[in-house]
């Protein structure tokens, strides 16, 4: 289902009866399609524990346990509103001292936002 499938639906059909059939319609039903809020955002690091040596590669991956999409991702460090990147994966190549800190993944489906 998509959001545009919301609306009023009914069915109808011919009732076969003598001497003449007739068209009968059901009572209408209202269908509302909603997005499932994003929740259960988890962050995984490679190498595990995000302990890397200077100059090595750190890969951060983000996933959601629930939420209908499309889901977009953004990466933040130290509570900054400016994203470091977008997408479910962030690669930090040749990490340096300036890359140390607290990283968060933010997931959104347009209706809701959740953070790791």
Domain containing residue 99: CATH number: 2.60.40.10
Q: What Rg value do the Cα atoms of the chain yield, rounded?
A: 25
Q: What is the pLDDT of residue 17?
A: 81
| Mean pLDDT across 78-100 | 93
User: How far apart (Å, rounded) are the C-alpha atoms in residues 116 and 62?
Assistant: 8
φ/ψ of 50, rounded to 5, equals 55, 30
Structural tokens at position 110 = 């347009």
Position 23 in a domain:
no
Q: How confident is the model at residue 1 (pLDDT cuts 50, 70, 90)?
A: confident
Q: Which domain, by its residues, includes 72?
A: 39-115
Q: How confident is the model at residue 11 (pLDDT cuts 50, 70, 90)?
A: very high
**pTM recorded for the entire structure:** 0.72
Position 34 in a domain:
no
> How many domains in the chain?
1
Position 16 in a domain:
no
In sequence order, the 6+-apart residues with CB closer than 8 A to the CB of 51 are none
Position 49 in a domain:
yes
């Amino acid at each position: 289902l998509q959001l545009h499938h919301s609306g009023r639906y009914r069915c109808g059909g011919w009732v076969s009866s003598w001497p003449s059939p007739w068209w009968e319609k059901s009572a209408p039903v209202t269908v509302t399609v909603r997005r499932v809020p994003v929740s259960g955002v988890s962050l995984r690091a490679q190498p595990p524990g995000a302990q890397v040596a200077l100059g090595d590669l750190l890969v951060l991956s983000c996933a959601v346990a629930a939420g209908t999409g499309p889901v977009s991702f953004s990466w933040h460090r130290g509570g900054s509103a400016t994203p470091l990147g977008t997408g479910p994966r962030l690669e930090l190549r040749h990490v340096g001292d300036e890359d140390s800190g607290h990283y968060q993944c933010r997931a959104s489906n347009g209706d809701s936002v959740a953070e790791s």
